[in-house]
Amino acid sequence: MPRIIKITQEYAPELMQARIDESIVTGQPLVERPFWYENVNTGQCLYDLYGCVGWPTEVTEKDDGRPGYVAIVGIIKGKRKPQDAAFHLCAEAESKDIPTLLQHILDLRKEWGFGLHPGYLQTFFGDPDRYITTIALLNERLMQDGGDKQAILISPPDDFYSPKAFDHYVRSMHSVVVPGRIRFGFGGNEVLKNRLREFKRDDPAVMAVGGLIHSLLSRTMWMDQSRSSVFSIQEVV
């Protein structure tokens, strides 16, 4: 059974329109959505959840590389202003085997409520240019079973193609774990925490979560643009 349920406020379309109208008057570009998600086991409320994946490092003559990594990160709905919300590492998994790593994606997104909202947990942030054939074959099977909405989509994080991508991601990751200004919780998960301690360049876990955090900080994706009113209102009905 999924750990997450979707909570929609009463009169959501009307509330959304009121928030959009107010944001236009006040000049605010972002508005809070009239729905959120709740962890049925803990009661924790989340604005949204996002997935990320870091593929295993290349095999060399010295070793068979570091394991790939997949994670689900939630945006905590709490006392902070929505645009300053904290991040929570909900779940993580690792493997050096690509089919196993893809199965982790399927298992985690199902566990965390895949399909509760259009597009929710269908796209994982990561390198879209690796293992294209393997992912395509998996998606062909998934779409035969349930249509194109079942496919796994891989999207590059912001600045992914920059030569300084890892540097950007590490700095974004460090910015949310600074003592006194902590904005990221590990939720009892140990893999990412240990990888950050070891700190090896281009580590898949750091690339995955760091890239996701970098993108979230840049775009505040758990809030809606006030100008995209028609799409947003229809989505919450």
pLDDT tens per residue across span 156-176: 999 999 999 999 999 999 999
Task: Flag whether 232 is in a domain.
Answer: no
Q: Give the range of the structural domain holding residue 174, as residue numbers without chain letter.
A: 48-72+81-221
Task: Flag whether 22 is in a domain.
Answer: no
For residue 16, give the H/E element and its range: helix 12-26
Three-point CA angle 226, 79, 179, nearest 5°: 110
Task: Flag whether 235 is in a domain.
Answer: no
What per-residue confidence (pLDDT) applies to 10? 57
Number of domains the chain is built from: 1
Which of 14, 16, 51 lies closest to 36, judged by CA?
16
Structure tokens at 213: 């955090």
DSSP-assigned letter for residue 65? -
CATH number for the domain that contains residue 191: 3.30.420
Instruction: Look at phi and psi of residue 89 and say left if phi exceeds 0, alpha if psi is from -120 to 50, else beta.
Output: beta
pLDDT tens per residue across span 110-150: 999 999 999 999 999 999 999 999 999 999 999 998 888 99
Task: Flag whether 141 is in a domain.
Answer: yes
What per-residue confidence (pLDDT) applies to 206? 96
Place of tokens 């059974």: 1
Task: Flag whether 161 is in a domain.
Answer: yes
For 33, 63, 79, 192, the CA distances from 224, given in Å and listed in that order, are 7, 45, 19, 29
What per-residue confidence (pLDDT) applies to 54? 98
Backbone angles phi, psi at 120, to 5 degrees: -65, 120
Which of 211, 109, 189, 194 lies closest to 153, judged by CA?
109
Helices and strands in the chain: count of H runs, count of E runs: 7, 10
For residue 139, give the H/E element and its range: helix 132-146
What per-residue confidence (pLDDT) applies to 36? 92
All residue ranges of the chain with pLDDT < 70 are 10-30, 225-237
